[in-house]
Each structure stands twice: as structure tokens, then as C-alpha cells.
Amino acid sequence: MGDNISWPTLAVILAAGQGTRMRSPLPKVMHLVDDRPLLGHVLAAVGAADIEHCAVVVGAGSRVVADYVKQAAPSVRTFTQNEQLGTAHALLAARPALQAHEQGCVLVLFGDSPLISPQTLLQLRQALIEGAAVAVAGFHTERPGPYGRLLVERGRLLAIREARDANPQELEVNFCNGGVMGLRADTCLWLLDRIGNQNAQGEYYLTDAVAVANSAGLPVTAVEVDEAEVLGVNDREQLQAAEQLFQQRRRGQ
């Protein structure tokens, strides 16, 4: 990889979730941490990492989210996921942005993870620059319970095993999937178009990009991050936890 290769980066923020567990008519990503919507924190991290291009995928009927993006980050394009058919399906809602971004890196983020840092985005990007086709953020935890496990062998990420599909040995693994992912632009769409929906939910999961890349002989790696960085907010309790962590982090600086 010569130094003359430029690595323009496209961040795609998935923000189409309805957030039914929030018990509120407000879309999930519009709930506040430190008086800023969850999505606003993710947009700020993308900006602080000097990522050149950004797109946000919103849900059908989430006018309030699209309006917020237009106001908070006017240069960011929004795309609509009309049906909720999984994370890979959500990412493909931004296909025009992915098609226009033929070289460099694609980072996939979640609009409900307000504690993601610019450093983590740059770490994922660096893994792609160093040759990975897919790089997955992972974290170690004492309570791996419901999380998908990252099965790594000799530095290569072989699989992401959902807890319900894991055997007893795999359940012992405490290196877990953080969700955030980087994909090399030149193979990104090729991988996404090969993800199927043969699962109980009939959905297209972004995590399956790992298996598709491995079966195609493409290098896949895991990048370790702090657990708080990938904390997703799905209910009021997690919103409160995110607020506390945000304030702790601020005091610690």
C-alpha cells in the first residue's frame, strides 16, 4: 500500500430504528444526552475525525430526524429505509452514496451510540488502510451474556456468533461485537449484495459481511475498543447510563 493512495472515508450512520422500547413518539436517535440528540453526538464524532463524507439512513416517516440532520449538518446526505429488514438492508438504502465512493473506506455507525469517539473511527479506518477488507469494533466484557461473540484466530476474525447460536465453548468468549464496522470501499457493495436473509427473522444482517468476506478469502480483523464507546441506547435505562458516562468522561478530561 503506497503512501500515494488516498483514503477518502464515507461514514454511514444508521438511524432508522423506531425505538419502541423508549416508550415515546420521538424517534430513538432524537433522545437527548447532555442536551444534544444521540445522533448529534455521532455526527460530532464524524466531524472531529475529519471524515470527508457522511450519510444518514433514516426510517420512513422520520421527518424529524431528516430535518435535524439538515439543520445540524447541512452537507450530510440522508437516505430513507422504507422497510425495516435488517442492518445490511439499512446500509444499502444509502447505495447511491456507496456507489459514488469507489475508493477508500466506508465506516458504518449507529445513530444511538452517543459515546463513539473520533479515535475509534480512525482506528477502524487504519485497519482498512493496513489491508483488512472488513474491520469490526469489539470489546471485552465481564458480562458477555446477550452479545454476539467475536471468534478470532491468529489475528483473523473468523466469525461473529450470535449468543443464541453459540455453542458452550463459544459462549465462554468475552470478546464481543460492538456493531461499528469498517469496509473497504472497493469490495463493500460486492459483499453487501451477497448477504442473504436465511435466518429466523428473514432479515439482512451486516454482521454476515464477516462470513461472506472470509469465504471469499478477504482479510477480516477485529479492532478492540472500550465498551462504553459502543453503548447503544435502546431504552430509558440505557439513556440514563449514557448520560452518566458522558458526564464522567467530561469530568475526567
- For 132, half-sphere exposure in the C-beta direction (CA atoms, 13 angstrom radius) is 26
Contact 116, 181 (CB under 8 A): no
Left (φ > 0), alpha (ψ -120 to 50) or beta: where does 19 sit? left
DSSP-derived secondary structure letter, 74 = T
Q: Could you confirm whether 161 is annotated as catalytic?
A: no
Contact 243, 231 (CB under 8 A): no
8 A C-beta contact, residue 22 and residue 48:
no
- Is there a contact between 132 and 221 (Cβ–Cβ < 8 Å)? yes
Helix (H) or strand (E) holding 65: helix 63-72
Which candidate in 21, 36, 77, 194 is catalytic? Answer: 21
Report residue 149 as a C-alpha cell.
461473540
Q: Give the closest residue to 186 by CA, choosing from 250, 105, 126, 83.
A: 105
Annotated catalytic sites, by residue?
A: 21
